[in-house]
């Protein structure tokens, strides 16, 4: 949701208590609308994230995500470094009851110390950061001038003006609130959100949930004025819905501070967005590769269709040779008896009048040899392209079943190996970044069940198993490989059914009611030399029919 002034009021209070007195250590701008400040505080070094994007605008501390900084810092980042590097935060406050938070700094240089203020306007698509000195703009993240028909000027040297206030009632003006509620009205939440300043629809709905549809002006005033909050994240269908300073809903998770609730919520939101973007990127690249392969397959099949007349060309060459006495140079065609035909039918053969009969025969023989070589080559190419399309289909299955970023890591490596994606720049890669990702891991009746996330992990899973462990794969569909670690024991029917359900869930047949899953001992599974990742042959197997089920994964950092 767009953060309203009510929520920002409590965020500001926590920011003030956490950062006032802190010293700016580092300033970065990883993205065009995202600032990152590293601040030394009494509690240690804390990272302050300032996001000014339309969808996720916020000021938060404690978010876990790391984003690489550009090689060349943007202009606004350089401006902040020039003025705020090593500056001390003297105060953090909310401007009135608006969605504007200002950071006051004591800035030090070799010759003097000055006071500066950074205004952070958390206003959806109109969000901005403006640095001022004595009320004059020094610089802004998003510059606007009269030439762009802007309502407010944010050019360097102009006087800073707050965003224009909305024509709404202040929640701290009790007489005005009472006049508002005295007038006839219907939906109380809509009345509050539309007419009370700084209150978003979500907050208004929570007020009504607390006090009922007959909520009064005094109750609105009490809700906004109450400093006692209960930070939480609300949930819907098991997914985070929003973070709140307080909420009357039952489906929620509480946090010690609003900043922690906000950080956890946006870690989920941003992580989900990054995952969807990465998944979309892989899907797009894979789709292009599939189209390219299908186009190549079509061209090969067209050439193979042209080669279907190979034997007919050879026959014509033989008939010319056997009837060479009856052909004269300059003939454009002749008819010969086809001695391969049971009915001894005649066949008409076109000739090149410029060539001798023997040269015409050689021409047909050469064309026959060429078509034969083409057919052999195209047949081999067709097998290769068909195998590639099957492999790409298995990668698509892995992408479709991916649920988080680790699931996509191995898939990216596969596409890089196929030259579908460019190789990543590993110059600045952190140590331990390439450590193998853990398999999906489950426990059932004392047995450990493992499941690969992609083709790369499927290969690695096969290598990790002992000869007596049970290996599983969905019959006739692309799927992740699953395994039961037996440790010399005989697996129970319950464990086999459990592993088969997991294997079926992470397959192309996930939406089916019943799925056939093959299972056998690891010693009967072989990977052909030079085969694509995830491709194996297996024998001595049995088949079980199960319903796909994700089951609850037993998370463990160590495999």
In this predicted model, what pLDDT tens digit does every residue of 451-509 receive, in sequence order?
999 998 999 999 999 999 999 999 999 999 999 999 999 999 999 999 999 999 999 99
Report the phi/psi class of residue 280: left, alpha or beta, with left for phi > 0 and alpha for psi in -120 to 50: alpha
Residue 121 Cα distances to 7, 116, 215, 232, angstroms: 14, 16, 31, 24
Q: What is the pTM of this model?
A: 0.77
DSSP class of residue 335 equals E
Of 250-264, 338-352, 507-521, the one with minimum mean pLDDT is: 338-352
Cα 519 versus chain centre, distance: 32
Mean per-residue pLDDT, 219-227: 93
Domains of the chain in sequence order: 5-148 (2.30.310.10), 174-261 (no CATH), 304-388 (no CATH), 440-546 (no CATH)
The reported pLDDT for the residue numbered 152 is 79
Does residue 119 carry a pLDDT above 80? yes
Does residue 532 carry a pLDDT above 50? yes
Does residue 432 carry a pLDDT above 50? no
The reported pLDDT for the residue numbered 409 is 82
Mean per-residue pLDDT, 220-233: 93
The reported pLDDT for the residue numbered 20 is 95
Cα 428 versus chain centre, distance: 22
Distance CA 516, CA 189 (A): 52
Of 362-376, 402-416, 456-470, the one with minimum mean pLDDT is: 402-416
The reported pLDDT for the residue numbered 98 is 93
What b/e string do you get for 236-250 counting C-beta neighbours within 10 Å, with b at 16 or more? eeeebbbbbbbbeee
The reported pLDDT for the residue numbered 559 is 42
Residue 209 Cα distances to 5, 196, 203, 213, 227, angstroms: 20, 17, 10, 8, 19
Which residue bears the tokens 């909310």? Answer: 94
Does residue 100 carry a pLDDT above 60? yes
Provide the pLDDT confidence category of residue 150 given band limits of 50, 70 and 90.
low
Mean per-residue pLDDT, 59-76: 88
Distance CA 432, CA 421 (A): 23
Does residue 305 carry a pLDDT above 70? yes
Provide the pLDDT confidence category of residue 147 given band limits of 50, 70 and 90.
low
Residue 417 Cα distances to 285, 310, 410, 421, 456, angstroms: 13, 38, 11, 8, 11
- The dihedral over CA atoms of 171, 175, 180, 184, expressed in degrees to the nearest 10, equals 140
The reported pLDDT for the residue numbered 66 is 78
The reported pLDDT for the residue numbered 558 is 44
The reported pLDDT for the residue numbered 93 is 96
Q: How many CB atoms are located within 10 Å of the residue 127 CB?
A: 23
Mean per-residue pLDDT, 44-55: 92
């Amino acid at each position: 949701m767009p953060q309203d002034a009510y929520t920002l009021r409590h965020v500001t209070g926590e920011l003030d208590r956490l950062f006032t007195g802190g010293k700016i250590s580092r300033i970065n701008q990883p993205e065009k609308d995202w600032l990152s400040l590293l601040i030394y505080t009494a509690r240690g070094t804390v990272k302050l994230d300032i996001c000014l994007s339309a969808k996720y605008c916020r000021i938060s501390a404690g978010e876990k995500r790391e984003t690489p900084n550009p090689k060349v810092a943007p202009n606004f980042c350089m401006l902040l470094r020039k003025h705020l590097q090593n500056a001390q935060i003297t105060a953090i406050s909310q401007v009135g009851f608006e969605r504007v938070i200002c950071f006051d700094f004591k800035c030090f240089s070799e010759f003097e110390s000055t006071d500066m203020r950074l205004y952070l306007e958390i206003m959806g698509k109109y969000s901005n950061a403006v640095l001022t000195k004595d009320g004059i703009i020094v610089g802004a993240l998003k510059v606007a001038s009269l030439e762009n028909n802007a309502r407010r000027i944010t050019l360097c040297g102009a006087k800073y003006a707050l965003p224009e206030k909305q024509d709404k009632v202040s929640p701290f003006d009790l007489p005005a609130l009472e006049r508002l509620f005295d007038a006839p009205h219907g939906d109380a939440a809509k009345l509050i959100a539309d007419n009370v300043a700084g209150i978003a629809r979500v907050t208004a709905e929570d007020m009504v949930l607390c006090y009922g549809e007959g909520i009064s002006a005094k109750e609105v005033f009490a809700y906004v004025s109450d400093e006692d909050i209960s930070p939480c994240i609300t949930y819907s269908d098991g997914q985070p819905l929003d973070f709140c300073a307080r909420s009357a809903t039952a489906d929620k998770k509480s946090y010690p501070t609003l900043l922690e609730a906000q950080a956890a919520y946006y870690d989920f939101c941003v992580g989900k967005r990054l995952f969807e973007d990465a998944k979309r990127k892989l899907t797009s690249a894979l789709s292009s590769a599939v189209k390219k392969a299908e186009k190549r397959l079509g061209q090969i099949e067209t050439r193979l269709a042209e080669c279907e007349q190979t034997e007919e060309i050879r026959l014509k060459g033989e008939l010319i040779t056997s009837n060479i006495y009856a052909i004269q140079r300059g003939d454009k065609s002749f008819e010969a008896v086809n001695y391969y035909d049971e009915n001894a039918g005649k066949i008409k053969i076109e000739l090149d009048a410029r060539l001798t009969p023997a040269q015409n025969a050689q021409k047909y023989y050469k064309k026959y040899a060429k078509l034969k070589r083409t057919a052999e080559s195209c047949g081999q190419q067709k097998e290769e392209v068909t195998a590639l399309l099957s492999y790409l289909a298995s990668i698509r299955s892995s992408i479709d079943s991916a649920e988080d970023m680790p699931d996509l890591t191995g898939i990216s490596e596969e596409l890089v190996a196929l030259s579908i994606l460019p190789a990543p720049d590993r110059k600045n890669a952190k140590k331990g970044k390439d450590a193998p990702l853990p398999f999906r891991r489950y426990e059932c009746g004392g047995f450990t069940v493992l499941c690969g996330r992609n083709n790369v992990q499927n290969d690695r899973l096969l290598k990790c198993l002992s000869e007596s462990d049970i290996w599983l794969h969905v019959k006739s569909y692309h799927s992740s490989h699953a395994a039961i670690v037996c440790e010399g024991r005989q697996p129970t029917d319950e464990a086999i059914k459990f592993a088969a359900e997991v294997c079926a869930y992470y397959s192309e047949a996930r939406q089916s009611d019943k799925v056939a899953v093959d299972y056998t001992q690891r010693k009967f599974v072989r990977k052909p030399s030079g085969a694509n990742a995830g491709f194996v042959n297996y024998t001595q197997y049995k088949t079980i029919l199960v319903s796909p089920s994700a089951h609850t994964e037993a998370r463990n950092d160590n495999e």
